[in-house]
Amino acid sequence: MILAIETSCDDTCAAVVTRDGEIRANVISSQGVHDRYGGVVPEVASRHHLELVGPVVEDALTQAGATLPQLDAIAVTQGPGLVGALLVGVASAKALAAAHRLPLIPVDHLHGHVAASFLAPDPFEPPFLILIASGGHTLLARVEDHGPDWEVLGSTHDDAAGEAFDKGARMLGLGYPGGPALQRLAEEGDPAAFDFPTAQQVAGLDFSFSGLKTALLYKLRELERADPALPARRRADLAASYQRAIVETLARRVERALEQTGLGRLALGGGVAANGPLRERMRGLGGVAIDIPPMALCTDNAAMIAGAALHLPALVFPSYLGLDAYATGERGL
C-alpha cells in the first residue's frame, strides 16, 4: 500500500492505494476559507495545510485500516503549485517516511491528473489523448504509457479553463470556486443567448480564454448601462452562453487533436472535468472510447498522486531528506 499526500493548492488531501490501484481511502479537506477573498490566498492555504495535514493523514490510514509501518512507500506532490502549500506536504511526507525508514516517491501534480485514469475499478489503458483542465492548467497531451513522459500537444496561452470559470463567476457576482456556481446559474439560462468567442483563431492545439473573459466584461457593462438592475434571467443567460463558449473552446481542440493524432481514446482530468455540459459534450463525440473519472478523482485529490507513484521509482532513506518542492513544472506550464 502507498500513502499519498497532496497539498499543491487549497485542498489538503491524503489517500491510501494498493499496488493494484485499488483506492482504500481518499480524504479531501477543502479549506473553505478562500471564498471571502474571491480566490486562493497562498499564505492562508499553507497555514491551513499545516493544521489539517496530520488529521487528514490519520483519517486516511484509519479508513484504510492501515498503519504507517505496514506501508510500502509514501508519495507526495512535489510540484507544480503554490510553493508554500507544497512544502507542507513535502515536509510532512519526508518526516513520516524518515520516521519509519520508508521509501519516498515524489510526484508531479499533472502526472497525477493523468494517473486518475489508471486507478481501479475501471483502469483506462494508454495510449490515449488527455484533456487536463483545472484552475491552474489547461493542456492536451498524448499518453503512451503509465510513466511521467507524456507529450504535451497544446496548452493555454493565458488563463486556464478553470480560471476562466472562476473569473467569469466573479464578474457575475458568484462565489469561489466559480465553476460549480457558474454551472448552477447556467442551468437557468439560454446558452444561445449571447455569441461569445471560442478562440478558433489560436493556432494548432493551443487554447486562449482571455478574449472570452473580456467579451463577458464588455457585455456585462453594456447590459448594466441599459439596465443597472440586471434581471436574474439575463445573468443566467450570460452564464449559460459563457459556459458554452468555454466548453466549445475545449471541445473543438479535442476534436482537432483526435483527428490529428488518430487516437480513438480520450480521457478527461482536472477540476473542470467535473463540469456537466463538458462531460456531456465529450460523451457525444462519435467513435471515441472515453474515460471521465468520478468527480472526486477529477478535482485535486491524493489517490491520483498514489496512482502516479505506482509507476515511478522510489527514493530510499535518507536520499530524499533534501527533496525540495517546485512551483512551476520543467514543462514550462
Q: Which parts of this chain interact with ligand KG4 (CB under 6 A)? A: 9, 134-136, 162, 165-166, 177-180, 183, 270-272, 274-275, 299-300
End-to-end Cα distance, the chain: 31
CB of 329: closest distance to ligand KG4 in angstroms?
Answer: 12
Give the span between the Cα atoms of 14 and 54, in whole angstroms. 10
Closer by beta carbon to ligand KG4, 154 or else 162: 162
- By beta carbon distance, the residue nearest Zn ion is 134
CB of 272: closest distance to Zn ion in angstroms?
Answer: 10
Q: Tell me if 274 sits within 8 A of 299, measured CB to CB.
A: yes
Q: Tell me if 328 sits within 8 A of 79, measured CB to CB.
A: yes
328 dihedral zone (left: phi>0; alpha: psi -120 to 50; beta): beta
Closer by beta carbon to ligand KG4, 9 or else 88: 9
Question: For residues 173-185, b (16+ Cβ closer than 10 Å) or e, as one string?
Answer: ebebbbbbbbbeb
**H/E element, 268:** strand 265-269
The entry of ligand KG4, Zn ion, none near residue 189 (CB within 5 to 8 angstroms by kind) is none
The entry of ligand KG4, Zn ion, none near residue 275 (CB within 5 to 8 angstroms by kind) is ligand KG4
The entry of Zn ion, ligand KG4, none near residue 90 (CB within 5 to 8 angstroms by kind) is none
Strand pairing category for 151-155 and 138-143:
antiparallel
What are the cell numbers at 231?
434581471
Closer by beta carbon to ligand KG4, 109 or else 265: 109
The entry of Zn ion, ligand KG4, none near residue 103 (CB within 5 to 8 angstroms by kind) is none
> What residue ranges bind Zn ion (CB under 5 A)?
134, 300
Closer by beta carbon to ligand KG4, 265 or else 279: 279
Closer by beta carbon to ligand KG4, 183 or else 208: 183
Residues 6+ apart with CB under 8 A from 60: 3, 14, 15, 16, 25, 26, 27, 302
CB of 243: closest distance to Zn ion in angstroms?
Answer: 20
CB of 300: closest distance to Zn ion in angstroms?
Answer: 4
